[in-house]
């Protein structure tokens, strides 16, 4: 399948997590939309991979990105709003909650994956990747060996999205999460392999990835960047 194609999954990729799906959605199934929102830019002056480390909050630009996402979702029929427990995601959810008059529910399944390199600078040429003690964690980029397996990340986020879709049945739900969880979930829905080149992720800061949830089937129906494509490849986000 073309890497840049979108739409419903037609065939499972070898390492694709089992997405909630059926060959044909029930004729009387209600159409529900689940929006996966990536949080805004984080204040990270030292450029570390912050992962699940507490205390990393949105930068001034990140707050504007959160507001842009809220403005994009304004007027939509959203009845459920859930977020990763990390501060940057909760902060991104706050203007959305204010805009839509909703309460933020925390769902731990939307959290950033754990990572061996958390707290380190992993930029090209940085000592943390050059140090032999870390090399064993680089041995398998397909699982990956340095962190939570892609399939486990995808499975938990798909479950969270399905639960949100059921709770918002016939309406819309918003889930605020992080780049990798959103991206592998999208790849699973599209029937693609979960391992990938991180430089090709289409999941910018403050972006909105929209999935249609009909019966028990997900289908990609849209991707939007209310704040533009700035910072789409920042790590640990």
63-82 pLDDT, tens digit per residue, is 999 999 999 999 999 999 99
Mean pLDDT of 91-113: 97
Would you state the pLDDT for residue 4? 35
Domain annotation covers residue 203: yes
Q: What band does 167 get if pLDDT is binned at 50, 70 and 90?
A: very high
Would you state the pLDDT for residue 37? 98
Domain that holds residue 201: 31-224
Least confident residue range of 41-50, 51-60, 109-118, 210-219: 109-118
Say whether pLDDT at 2 is over 50. no
Domain annotation covers residue 102: yes
Number of domains forming the structure of the chain: 1
Domain annotation covers residue 196: yes
Would you state the pLDDT for residue 47? 86
pTM exceeds 0.85, yes or no: no
Domain annotation covers residue 49: yes
Average pLDDT score, the chain = 83
Say whether pLDDT at 236 is over 60. no
Higher model confidence: residue 227 or residue 2? 227
- Over residues 21-43, the pLDDT tens digits come to 433 445 556 789 999 999 999 99
Domain annotation covers residue 125: yes
Cα distances (angstroms) measured from residue 12 to each of 67, 90, 194: 36, 33, 11
Domain annotation covers residue 233: no
**How many C-beta atoms lie closer than 10 Å to residue 76's C-beta?**
15
Say whether pLDDT at 12 is over 50. no
CATH code of 126's domain:
3.40.50.1240
Higher model confidence: residue 118 or residue 48? 48
Would you state the pLDDT for residue 14? 44
Would you state the pLDDT for residue 109? 98
Domain annotation covers residue 90: yes
Domain annotation covers residue 25: no
């Amino acid at each position: 399948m073309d890497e840049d194609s979108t739409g419903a999954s037609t065939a499972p990729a070898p390492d694709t997590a089992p997405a909630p799906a059926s060959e044909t959605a029930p004729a009387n199934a209600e159409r529900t939309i689940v929006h996966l929102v990536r949080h805004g830019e984080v204040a990270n002056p030292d450029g570390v991979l912050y992962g699940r480390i507490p205390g990393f909050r949105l930068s001034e630009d990140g707050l504007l990105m959160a507001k842009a996402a809220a403005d994009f979702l304004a007027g939509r029929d959203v009845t459920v709003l859930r977020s990763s427990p990390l501060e940057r995601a909760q902060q991104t959810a706050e203007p959305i909650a204010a805009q839509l008059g909703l309460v933020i529910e925390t769902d731990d399944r939307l959290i950033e994956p754990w990572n061996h390199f958390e707290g380190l600078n992993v930029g090209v040429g940085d000592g943390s990747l050059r140090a032999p003690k870390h090399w064993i964690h680089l041995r398998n980029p397909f699982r990956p060996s340095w962190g939570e397996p892609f399939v486990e990340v995808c499975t938990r986020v798909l479950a969270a999205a399905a639960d949100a879709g059921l709770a918002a049945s016939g309406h819309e739900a918003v889930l605020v999460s992080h780049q990798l969880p959103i991206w592998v979930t999208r790849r699973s829905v599209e029937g693609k392999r979960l391992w990938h080149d991180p430089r090709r992720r289409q999941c910018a800061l403050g972006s909105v990835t929209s999935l249609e949830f009909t019966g028990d089937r997900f289908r990609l129906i849209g991707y939007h960047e209310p704040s533009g494509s700035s910072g789409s490849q920042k790590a640990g986000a």
